[in-house]
Structure 1
Amino acid sequence: MALTGEIGRSIPNVLVRRDPGVNAAPVVFDIPRSGFTYPRDFQPDAQFVDVQRGVSMYVEELYGGAPAAGANWLFAEFPNSYIDANRHQLDIDPKLIDGEWPEPLKPTRKSELGIGLIHSVCRTGDLPLYSSKLAVEDVQHRLDAYYWPYHNELSDILKRHRAAKGVAYHVSCHSMASIGGHATIDHGSERSEFDIGDGNGKTCKPEFVELVVETLRGFGHQVTVNKHYAGAESIHKHADPANGIHSLQIEIKRGIYMDERKFIRSPRFAEIRGHLDQLAQAICAYAGR
């Protein structure tokens, strides 16, 4: 099933945006952690197969029908192991940096686990990504050339919708391993099929969450809310529910649409894509009302 929509603004190797044709709704689906275009200056010491396990594979395809439903579709082409668009710009482990950062860093538990803004481990959590520290200039380049252009584009889309329609709905699209890995807070836990995050009630109105949960449960899926992931920077940076911008995060269990060991789509891929096409239609209809 092909991607739909007209190509909007794009920055080679950084982002691609697809826009709806007619019947546009104030909705954007952003895919910040599924990129697989590896910058030339990214030279990790870990093997490629281990680095690649950190990519939320095929998520951009699963939501590829969003523009046909009336939504914008925004895809970060760079891999999250290079710089993670779902982390705060200061969530950096100081031990990873060679030099003095120009302002105080704010490392979180994610950085301690090696999966902050700049990852220090592969997604398995037990393999180091680098054998030496990164220069301050290197990390700043990743922010200036990749991270900020992506977030600025997402911000612009949401602000335009808010100005034109008085409201904007934002869905941040992710996938999660079927079982929590070493570098996760829920290490060893079996995950639900879908986990919806709204920052524990902070990033959108409850009705938006209810719509997504009930639509997915209507297809027979096991859906939880704020259980495995309550939502990270992609929604917290852009949400402003008091002023009409509502953001939530959707995590899909990879095992329901792909073979996690072989990195290939499973026989259920088209079925799950169809469910997400219908979810996009439901969200756009809701936003239009």
Structure 2
Amino acid sequence: MDTPTTDAMGAGEPEQGGVIPGVAGPSYSLWRMPCDSMPVLISVPHAGRCYPPEVLSALRDSDEAQLRLEDRYIDLIAKPVAAETQTSLMVAEAPRAMIDLNRSVEDIDWGMVRGASMRPVRHSLANRRSRNGLGLVPRRIPGMGEIWRRPLDKAQLENWIAGIYTPYHAALGRELERLRDRWGVALLVDLHSMPPLRKNHPQDRPAEFVIGDRFGASCDPGLVDLAIRYLANQGRRVAHNRPYSGGYVLDRYGQTTRGIHALQIEVCRSTYLDARLDQPSARAGAIVKLLGGLVRMLGTEVGSMGRGERMAQAAE
């Protein structure tokens, strides 16, 4: 499946910001739809493939690490979905191996950082993922073990945070606020992909899609129910919050009392990639069509929520 051009995105050249240390390329791209047809922003934090040479050489098995850490080519699904629905889109260009944008900046395994004084391990939500090897900078992958040949330098980590993490979240926050100011409400669709879920028994048919809303904390339940029913009505197997309920992005941006809603969509890689889960397959077009319909339906519903809020405010 071809990547849409910027003309196909309908918004001209994207805003690009941040910098990936080691390649001097932008760490994110943001397409804003000029007509603001819907108060929806699609974000893709884990599909970046711009690897500095020194990062590839520092990985023990760079090919396997890329295959396991990336939400493989889910950006090639997101771009035509955004183009067809005229929805704003933010894509991380930096790879997850360098910085996981779906983690708190405090979620660091300081044992993998050279030149940093060891900080006390607090058993809290802030660092629970780093304790499992998948913190702000991934350290271990199940079945692979340690992914780095050597520790990171503290200065290197600080440069990665300054060039990749901080600009991405600043731009994401600004765009959500812009949509919210324009419509009175906004929806963030944080798009990810997942490896095929394990079967619990031989006849089990695991979910192909998982909708996450932090167990009701990040999104209006009516929107979540709409998404689940839409996918089920299309004959797709869908789960809610298990095994993926969303991460830091939903925790940070899902502010329903302010009219900003956030949900995570996990797409099984077998639905759009080849048998090795490596390259896009002929099935990718069907997933673009499916998610395009979902985003369009959610956008219409969110837009009506915003209009209702504004009318209520005008009557006061």
When normalised by structure 2's length, the TM-score is 0.82
- Unaligned 5+ residue runs, structure 1? 181-185
Looking at structure 1, the residues matched to 220 and 42 of structure 2 have their Cα atoms a distance apart, in angstroms, of 17
Helix, strand or coil at the partner of 2:90: strand
Aligned mate of 2:213, from 183, 188, 198: 198
Any conservation in 2 of the 1:204–1:241 contact (CA below 8 Å)?
A: yes
Looking at structure 1, the residues matched to 127 and 96 of structure 2 have their Cα atoms a distance apart, in angstroms, of 17
Helix, strand or coil at the partner of 2:138: coil
Q: Compute the RMSD of aligned alpha carbons.
A: 2.2
Structure 1 residues 260 and 85: alpha-carbon distance in aligned structure 2, compared to 1, 3 A threshold: farther
Structure 1 residues 120 and 264: alpha-carbon distance in aligned structure 2, compared to 1, 3 A threshold: same
Q: One-letter code of the match for 2:90?
A: L
Quick check: 229-238 or 32-41, which moved more? 32-41
Q: Which residue of 1 aligns with 2:15?
A: 9
Matches within 5 A, 1:39-188: 39-42=52-55, 43-53=57-67, 54-64=69-79, 65-100=81-116, 108-122=127-141, 124-179=142-197
Q: One-letter code of the match for 1:34?
A: A
Q: Which residue of 1 aligns with 2:311?
A: none
Q: Which residue of 1 aligns with 2:255?
A: 240
Looking at structure 2, the residues matched to 23 and 159 of structure 1 have their Cα atoms a distance apart, in angstroms, of 13
When normalised by structure 1's length, the TM-score is 0.90
Q: One-letter code of the match for 2:44?
A: I
Larger helix share, 1 or 2: 2
Q: One-letter code of the match for 2:10?
A: G
Deviations 1:204-242 (A, max 9, x none): 110111121112112111111111111001111111111
Q: Which residue of 2 aligns with 1:274?
A: 289
Q: Which residue of 2 aligns with 1:25?
A: 38
Count of equivalent residues: 281
Looking at structure 2, the residues matched to 163 and 267 of structure 1 have their Cα atoms a distance apart, in angstroms, of 40
Quick check: 49-58 or 25-34, which moved more? 49-58
Percent identity between the two aligned chains: 27
- Unaligned 5+ residue runs, structure 2? 18-24, 305-316
Displacement of 1:268 in angstroms is: 1.4
